[in-house]
Structure 1
């Protein structure tokens, strides 16, 4: 899989952090040298903001980087500065970082309480979600739906995204858009759940209280061990990427617990078929 700009920025940031540590410098030291804030340095090292060529050159001068390292990191910086495929879809600013990370992820683990996960939604279901509640402007709905469908291509690529999904039974029974929309959506769930790279489970009502009652969440894992896992939480007013190691570990533990409480795959599909018939 070709790395996208988000992954390249994260790789660049990881290298810069290593060089800084090797030079025995703190982010405060580097910030003082640049005349900027320590947060700016941390953003570069986390890959959440782009760098100019002159900024990288000055940073590498400060770290005493070798010529071959400088050349490699400048190429990474240049590729990381390019716009991602999602830039033409009018996505909200708070969602773009997540899409960039998802594009480069090797595996996505997703638990949802009220919604069918975006990577498994039909076009009609996605349109109803974006049209309801007035959270998406009417002239932006088509773009948002198209972006969601574009994200789903990762599931059927030559090197497909691994998807681990747990859905509350409530998301399956909530009639979004009416019977026809839901029938189509449930049929697609059954189809996608049988892909070799997808593990699909349902958390039934009779499981009772569970580890993530308030909301769903997502975890992203990457192919390279140097790229740490991240989490993602979304609410009515937006979403945010979670990078704190302890918080990401907590989300992993919660996902393991809801998976353990959920029905096995075969029984999950049987429940979806039963709901579809109803």
Structure 2
């Protein structure tokens, strides 16, 4: 899979952090040298924001970077400045970083309490979600948001498909988003996607009671290259947060493993979906 702009920014950022460390320069020293804040340097190294050509040149001069390396880093900078396909879908600014990371990831692990995961939603279900809060999503943007969600799902059928492990609370299956017809279609869709070899769908039954993530859902993303560290993601109605601290990401990984252990197996989850569908069609 070719690297997208977000992945290239992260790769460039990792290289900049390594060069600064090798040059034995602190964040403040690098920032003072080129006349910016330490926070700006930190954002570049984390791949959260793009760097201009003259800024990159100034840093590489300061770090005494070999010419051969400079060319590779300039290529990453230029390609990382390109706009991703999602830039035309009027997504919230806070959500764009996640979409970029998801497009670069090879594996996504997602736990949801109240909703079906976005990568597993039908178009009708997604439309209901985006239409529910007009204070959050402008009605004129709903179809764009739905289309973006459908585009994200194409990774599941790509030549090098995204690996998705999802643990979904049973409560999300019973919540009547859009009514009985929409939910029946959604449950059928979950059964179909659960048969894909790259998708592991598990239901966390209500009988479990307490579990490691009662406060809400989260996502954990893995990437192909060791140069791109794993990240986490959490969101709420007003925004989202990329989690990069290694200890926090490790905690999310452990939490997900525990949720998978508590959840029904893939086979039993499929059986539960079949039973719910049968019950929904029984007069």
Matched, 1:211 2:212: yes
* In structure 2, distance between residues paired with 1:170 and 1:28: 49
Pairing 1:1-278 to 2, within 5 Å after superposition: 1-134=1-134, 135-278=136-279
- Deviation, 1:38, is 0.6
Aligned residues: 278
Shift of 1:237: 1.2
Deviation per CA, 1:67-109: give whole Å up to 9, x if none.
Answer: 1101110011000000011000000010000000000001000
Aligned CA-pair RMSD: 0.7
Q: CA deviation at 1:133?
A: 2.5
Q: Structure 2: how far apart are the matches of 1:137 and 1:105?
A: 29
Per-residue deviation at 1:153?
Answer: 0.3
Shift of 1:43: 0.6
Q: Distance in 1 between matches of 2:42 and 2:236?
A: 26
| 1:238 Cα offset (Å) | 1.3
Q: Distance in 1 between matches of 2:217 and 2:276?
A: 21
Gaps of 5+ in 1: none
Q: What SS does structure 2 have at the residue aligned with 1:160?
A: coil
TM-score, structure 1 normalization: 0.99
- Give the Cα separation in 2 of the matches to 1:70 and 1:210: 49
- Equivalents in 2 of 1:166, 1:267: separation in Å? 13
